[in-house]
């Protein structure tokens, strides 16, 4: 197992859910963390807590991945002793609604594409050249089962996660001789703020998504991410599809 002690990990969308759970697991093994999200107060709070509990170093930034100028400014402003990022966890992402493509508000598409695809690309574009120069690094992208199988009402969300899969696959080939690994962790149903966000704050509708199911937790995904991140340097997990035991795929879920 690879030690991550004193490694530098950059996480997008660290204010909640999977990103926050991954931050906690990386902190437990002694990695130093650059945490970012739009809700700066949440990343600040998490950074303070992890520093106090695990004695690691942290940096926290307000970062909206939809804003490419902000991405560049944030990454340029990283102090020199933090520049050698070892692991980039491209986690920030969202779904907006479950509407049919021919009925949906195009604003929803814009937000999902800007965040899940263009945001991931711009963050990657600003961080990976440094990994190539240093000859070491690992990019871990949060994909989804939606990147393997489309479902009705998920046309654009599924398209964004298919894009994440294509980007991960291409980059893995482009970086194969650079000692920079590219992995993708692709979950099924995980109970986080994801559904509340997807349904515009409708907590009741969000709760129904997980009704009669033991969904995955953010900690389950953090566990998978840690497995991927701690393989020996000659091992790469290209992609890991991780599902609740009662969810076979995007269509078949056994509910109590
Ligand atoms: N939950 C699931 O069932 C599931 C399944 C498969 C894949 N995923 C993927 O897992 C990732 C994490 O989702 P989650 O389940 O942890 O959802 P979550 O609890 O809603 O967390 C999403 C995170 O992304 C951040 N984010 C959203 N838009 C952003 C933006 N424009 N700029 C920066 N950060 C942004 C949010 O922070 P701020 O709001 O503070 O910016 C938050 O920290 C996403 O890529 C999602 O697509 C989730």
- List the residue whose alpha carbon is closest to atom 36 of ligand 1: 13
Secondary-structure breakdown of the chain: helix, strand, coil percentages, each rounded to the nearest 5? 45, 15, 40
DSSP 72: H
The pLDDT of residue 113 is 98
Instruction: Determine the distance separating the centroid of ligand 1 and the alpha carbon of 17, expressed in angstroms.
Output: 7
Q: What is the pLDDT of residue 235?
A: 98
Q: Which atom of ligand 1 is nearest to the CA of 161?
A: 47
**What architecture is the 8-242 domain classified under in CATH?**
3-Layer(aba) Sandwich (3.40)
Spacing, Cα 53 to ligand 1 middle (Å): 24
Tell me if 166 sits within 8 A of 210, measured CB to CB: no
Atom of ligand 1 nearest to the CA of 146: 6
Ligand 1 atom closest to the Cα of residue 38 is: 41
Q: Which atom of ligand 1 is nearest to the CA of 114?
A: 31
Residue nearest to atom 29 of ligand 1 (CA): 92
16 lines ligand 1 (CB under 6 A): yes
In 65-179, the DSSP E strands lie at: 87-90, 137-142
Q: Is 244 near ligand 1, meaning CB less than 6 Å away?
A: no
The pLDDT of residue 32 is: 98
Burial label for 80, CB within 10 Å (0-12, 13-18, 19+), is: exposed
Instruction: Give the model's pLDDT for residue 213.
Output: 97
Of 72, 71, 73, 108, the residue nearest 92 (C-alpha): 71
- Annotated catalytic residue: which of 49, 102, 161, 165? 161
Q: Residue 196's pLDDT is what? A: 97
d(CA 207, CA 107): 25
Q: How far is the CA of 89 from the centre of ligand 1 (A)?
A: 12
Domain ranges of the chain: 8-242
Which two structure tokens, joined as six digits, stand for 81? 């002793």
pLDDT at 159: 98
Kindly report the pTM of this predicted structure: 0.98
Pocket mutation for ligand 1, best pick of 10, 12, 13 (most atoms within 8 Å of C-beta)? 13
Cβ of residue 164 lying under 6 Å from some atom of ligand 1 = no
68 within ligand 1 shell (Cβ under 6 A): no
How does pLDDT run along the chain (256 residues), one tens digit per residue?
Answer: 899 999 999 999 999 999 999 999 999 999 999 999 999 999 999 999 999 999 999 999 999 999 999 999 999 999 999 999 999 999 999 999 999 999 999 999 999 999 999 999 999 999 999 999 999 999 999 999 999 999 999 999 999 999 999 999 999 999 999 999 999 999 999 999 999 999 999 999 999 999 999 999 999 999 999 999 999 999 999 999 999 999 999 999 999 9
Is 157 known to be catalytic? yes
Q: How far is CA 90 from CA 8, 98, 180, 230, 252, in A?
A: 14, 23, 15, 17, 28
Residues 6+ apart with CB under 8 A from 63: 12, 36, 37, 38, 70, 71, 74
Q: Is the CB of 65 under 6 A from ligand 1?
A: yes
What integer pLDDT is reported at residue 2 of this predicted model? 94
| pLDDT value of residue 48 | 98
Concerning whether 151 is annotated as a catalytic residue, the answer is no
Token pair of 14 as six digits: 């660290």
């Amino acid at each position: 197992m690879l030690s991550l002690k004193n490694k530098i990990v950059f996480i997008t969308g660290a204010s909640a859910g999977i990103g926050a759970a991954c931050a906690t697991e990386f902190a437990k093994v002694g990695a130093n963390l650059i945490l970012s999200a739009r809700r700066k107060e949440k990343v600040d709070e998490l950074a303070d807590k992890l520093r106090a509990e695990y004695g690691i170093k942290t940096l926290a930034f307000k970062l909206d991945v939809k804003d490419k100028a902000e991405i560049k400014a944030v990454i340029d402003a990283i102090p020199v002793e933090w520049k050698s990022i070892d692991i980039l966890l491209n986690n920030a992402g969202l779904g907006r609604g479950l509407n049919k493509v021919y009925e949906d508000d195009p604003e929803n598409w814009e937000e999902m594409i800007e965040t899940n695809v263009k945001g991931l690309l711009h963050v990657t574009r600003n961080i990976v050249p440094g990994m190539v120069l240093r000859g070491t690094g690992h990019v871990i992208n949060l994909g989804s089962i939606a990147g393997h199988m489309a479902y009705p009402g998920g046309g654009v969300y599924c398209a964004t996660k298919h894009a994440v899969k294509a980007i991960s696959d291409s980059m893995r080939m482009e970086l194969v001789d650079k000692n920079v690994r590219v992995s993708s962790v692709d979950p099924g149903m995980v109970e986080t703020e994801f559904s509340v966000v997807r349904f515009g704050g409708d907590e009741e509708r969000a709760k129904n998504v997980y009704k009669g199911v033991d969904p995955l937790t953010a900690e389950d995904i953090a566990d998978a991410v840690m497995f991927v991140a701690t393989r020996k340097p000659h091992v790469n997990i290209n992609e890991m599809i991780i599902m609740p035991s009662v969810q076979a795929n995007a269509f078949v879920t056994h509910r109590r």
